[in-house]
Amino acid sequence: EIVLTQSPATLSLSPGERATLSCRASQSLFRSLAWYQQKPGQPPRLLIHEVSKRATGIPARFSGSGSGTDFTLTISSLEPEDFAIYYCQQRSNWPFGYTFGQGTKLEIK
Residue 50 lies near another protein (rule: CB under 8 A): yes
Classify each residue of 38-77 as buried b or exposed e, where b means 16 or more C-beta atoms within 10 Å of its C-beta: eeeeeebeebbbebbebeeebeeebbbebeeeebbbebee
Instruction: Choose, by CB under 8 A, the member of 71, 73, 84, 103 that binds another protein.
Output: 103
Residue 101 lies near another protein (rule: CB under 8 A): yes
Taking the complex as a whole, the smallest distance from the CB of residue 14 to another protein amounts, in Å, to 25
* Element (DSSP H or E) covering residue 35: strand 33-38
- Rounded to whole angstroms, what are the CA distances from 99 to 1, 15, 63, 76? 8, 30, 21, 26
Q: What is the DSSP letter of 55?
A: P
The stretch near another protein (CB under 8 A) out of 8-16, 57-65, 70-78, 98-106 is 98-106
- For another protein, the closer of residues 16 and 41 by Cβ is 41
The stretch near another protein (CB under 8 A) out of 11-19, 30-38, 57-65, 76-84 is 30-38
Half-sphere exposure of residue 83: CA atoms within 13 angstroms, side-chain side:
12
Instruction: Choose, by CB under 8 A, the member of 49, 64, 66, 71 that binds another protein.
Output: 49
- For another protein, the closer of residues 7 and 77 by Cβ is 7
